[in-house]
Amino acid sequence: MNGMDELTIAMPKGRILREALELLEEAGYPVEEDCFETTRKLTVPLPEAGLSFFLAKPGDVPTYVEYGVADLGVVGKDVLMEEERDVYELLDLGISRCRIAVAALPDWRPSLHPRVATKYPRIAGRYFLDKGEQVEIIRLSGSVELAPLIGLADRIVDIVSTGRTLRENGLVELETVSDVTSRLIANRASYRLKSGSVDRLCSRLASVVKGEGVRT
């Protein structure tokens, strides 16, 4: 409760990492990106800031946080919506902005037994249920854009960022399911027991996100 507790933060490998580290640096927590990228090391301590990081598959970040092996985590809203883990969502970091969308070939027509391929079976299932449309959800773990091209599914639910992957595969966006940005999440117990450190980090990040800079 003294505000000096060390915090362990689960960071997502991949495209969110760079922007998340930039944000942390602006917030006064300088983490060398090289620490993560030039080694195969999965843990990076930053003792002078009272932080230690580890790198995880994005989809696993909420799991580590729920089980308390990480106090905090950085993760896309898409993963949060899909994983439905018991964690606190503390802050919208406003980074890695993209959307979850329904896409298909331009000549797509509704069929009798519609099939939707996706990495997000829960999100897609909920979306079509809410629309009152019965579809078969086919779970894939990547390269989802392939599914309509080879006849596995007539539509996909996937992340669209620049739209380049859809374009280059001749697919068109039909509907937006949800806008997505990265979030700071917290373990429920850590949020109470380490409130000083958590509040400090969270409010520094919030100032940077709001464009106010950080008073140190």
Residue ranges binding ligand PRP (CB under 6 A): 142-145, 158-165
52 close to 5: Cβ distance less than 8 angstroms: no
Least distance in angstroms from the C-beta of 103 to ligand PRP: 10
Quick one: angle between helices 15-26 and 195-209, nearest 10?
A: 100
Least distance in angstroms from the C-beta of 98 to ligand PRP: 7
Closest CB to ligand PRP among residues 160, 186:
160
Closest CB to ligand PRP among residues 39, 162:
162
Least distance in angstroms from the C-beta of 45 to ligand PRP: 28
96 close to 74: Cβ distance less than 8 angstroms: no
Least distance in angstroms from the C-beta of 154 to ligand PRP: 18
The closest alpha carbon to 93, from 79, 77, 80, belongs to 77
Pairing relation of β-strands 155-160 and 115-118?
parallel
Least distance in angstroms from the C-beta of 170 to ligand PRP: 13
**What type of residue sits at position 54?**
F
Closest CB to ligand PRP among residues 122, 200:
122
153 close to 119: Cβ distance less than 8 angstroms: no
The closest alpha carbon to 75, from 142, 144, 20, belongs to 20
Closest CB to ligand PRP among residues 16, 90:
16
Q: How many helices (H) and strands (E) does the chain have?
A: 9, 11
Q: In the complex, which residue's CB is closest to ligand PRP?
A: 142
Closest CB to ligand PRP among residues 123, 186:
123
